[in-house]
Structure 1
Amino acid sequence: MLITIYRTVLIYFIVLLVVRLMGKREIGQLSPFDFVVAIIIAELAAIPMESTNFPLWKGIVPLVTLGILEVILSYLALHSPFLRRLLDGEPQVVIKNGRIIKDELRRARYNLNDLLAQLREKGIVNVGDVEFGVLETSGKLSVIPKSQKRPVTPEDLGLPTGYEGLPTILVMDGQVLRENLRLVGLDEAWLKKRLAAAGLEPEQVFLATLGTDGRLFINEDRIL
């Protein structure tokens, strides 16, 4: 029993390491090549976990080899358009100027139900409202609506807008993030003073963020 637990934990961390080495792209976007690699990794990881008689190194070596191969191919693909096309394929324009391109749908073996479903997911019910619909290598549909159907932006109305940026997290789970304080030119004494004004200690704060406008948002849902 302990041997099975040991092998499972070890394989788990090895697979986690291999996936991390393969990069974030492998997690967020699976091309056909990435999908095949993910299936093989799952199969290779299952063998040494299920069979205690199977030598552990025979399961680890293929996993590490596959991870290294994926990293090498991904690096080479950065500099080779031909290799990118070979491994990932190419995006296909399936809608152009509000008209569905049937030949591209057939070439991608992509039926109308799939196309309409992905359009509905993006809030589009009329194909005629689409300027371009691009079927990405991951199988997802990217949609560019016609200019008349896009939401009005401040730029369209000629209205000036200020810089928004991302808020800086200063406290998370009751822990003060000193490095983030340093990046925005503040210190812990300033933070404690602001929190004290709200009757709080850092340990009582679940989340506190500082916006680019200087406003401090405090979420005090932490259970003491």
Structure 2
Amino acid sequence: MDMLSRRIGGMATYITLMGKCFVVYFVIIFALRLMGKREVGELSVFDIVIYLVMSELLALSITETDKSILRSMVPIFTLSLLQIVLSWCLLKSKKTREIFEGKPVIIIHNGHINQAVMKKERYNIDDLMMQIRNRDICSPDEVAFAVLETNGQLSILKKEQCKVRHPEPLISDGIINQSVLDDLHQDVAWLLAALHKEGVERSEDVFLCMLQKNGLFVIKKETSTRNAFFSHHA
């Protein structure tokens, strides 16, 4: 009788584990969908921390068979809400993005390697050359820009393919990037005058502005719906 009870108890434990795994699977999918679509390579440090904490909470909820899985649901959805709120703040504030995600930095410009930036970012020359070779490039002299992105990836633009004079936008979502102006040895007055020639009165009306070799590339802010966007670009 005792053996039968133990077997029944063991089966109940396995059934509980299977049920928890089933619930956790859909909780993970729902939480990730709730937090939005992002590729693994685009995850920020904050995203990675959130996912690590969530995975630990879910693992504990599965292994602790004597406790209800609902105890882990509250902190998981709290973390999801925190990530959504912070993502909204990052979307609205460039300063907040720089605090949490950092800024992209230029490591190579027209074949010249910025050794001071490499030292600051703790990026060694062997890693740099490996990334260059992975892009089928033989020498840094062939590179127009190599930018170390906020997610740690190195973006490389070849000289013969690059149409821009700076890899970062002059204006993004209405906010002027002063560091880009400094790199170009220009000021806000020059930028506003250039925008005026393009028929734009205010920098706040600009969604994206890049400096290309043949002048400014400007995209104005729109309030169009998704369907209007596709009909406009059909």
Give the TM-score, by structure 2 length: 0.60
Q: Which residues in structure 2 correspond to 1:197-212 (within 5 Å)?
A: none
Task: From 124, 127, 134, give the equivalent of 1:121.
Answer: 134
Superposition deviation, residue 134 in structure 1: 0.3
1:2 aligned partner, one-letter code: I
**Counterpart amino acid of residue 67 in structure 1:** S
Mapped partners of 1:9, 1:114: distance in 2: 42
Matched with 1:90 is 103
Residue in 2 that maps onto 1:23: 36
* Maintained 8 Å contact 1:96/1:132: yes
Residues 97 and 130 of structure 1 are in contact (CA less than 8 Å); yes or no, is this contact kept in structure 2? Answer: yes
Aligned residues: 150
Root-mean-square deviation (CA), in Å? 1.8
How many Å apart are 1:94 and its aligned residue?
0.8
Task: Note closer, same or farther for the CA distance 1:26–1:19 as it changes in structure 2 (3 Å cut).
Answer: farther
State whether structure 2 residue 106 is matched by structure 1 residue 130: no
In the alignment, the residues of structure 1 paired with residue 39 and residue 85 of structure 2 have an alpha-carbon distance, to the nearest angstrom, of 14
Equivalent residue, structure 2, for 1:41: 54
Bigger shift: 94-103 or 116-125? Answer: 116-125
Equivalent position of 1:2 in the other structure:
15
1:99 aligned residue = 112
Matched letter for residue 51 of structure 2? A
Secondary structure of 2:107's aligned partner: strand
Other-structure match for 2:71: 58
- Partners of 2:120 and 2:76 lie apart in 1 by 34
**Quick one: structure 1 residues 28 and 141, their matched pair in 2 at CA, closer, same or farther if it must change by over 3 Å?**
closer
Q: Is the 8 Å Cα contact of residues 92 and 136 (structure 1) preserved in structure 2?
A: yes
User: Aligned with 1:24: secondary structure?
Assistant: coil
Q: 1:38 to 1:125 in 2, by over 3 A?
A: farther
Q: What's the % identity of the aligned pairs?
A: 36
Say which is worse superposed, 53-62 or 5-14, in terms of deviation: 53-62
CA contact (8 A) 2:57 2:72 kept: yes
TM-score, length-scaled by structure 1: 0.63
Find the aligned partners of 1:3 and 1:9 in 2 and give their Cα distance: 10
**Structure 2 stretches of 5 or more lacking a match?**
1-13, 163-234
Name the structure 2 match of 1:207. none
Tell me the residue number matched to 2:152: 139
- Flag structure 1 segments of 5+ consecutive residues without an equivalent: 152-224
Shift of 1:106: 1.7
Cα drift, residue 28 of structure 1: 4.8
Q: Contact 1:15–1:63 (CA<8 Å) still a contact in 2?
A: no
Matched residue type, 2:36:
G
Kept in 2, the 8 Å contact 1:97–1:131? The answer is yes
Q: Could you tell me which residue of structure 1 aligns to residue 179 of structure 2?
A: none
Per the alignment, residue 202 of structure 1 pairs with none
Give, in whole Å, the separation in 2 of the partners of 1:117 and 1:45: 38
Aligned partners of 2:41 and 2:151 also within 8 Å: no
1:31 is displaced (CA, Å) by 1.6
- Aligned partners of 2:156, 2:59: CA distance in 1, in Å? 39
Instruction: Give the 4+ runs in structure 1 shifted more than 4 A.
Output: none
Letter of the 2:91 counterpart: L
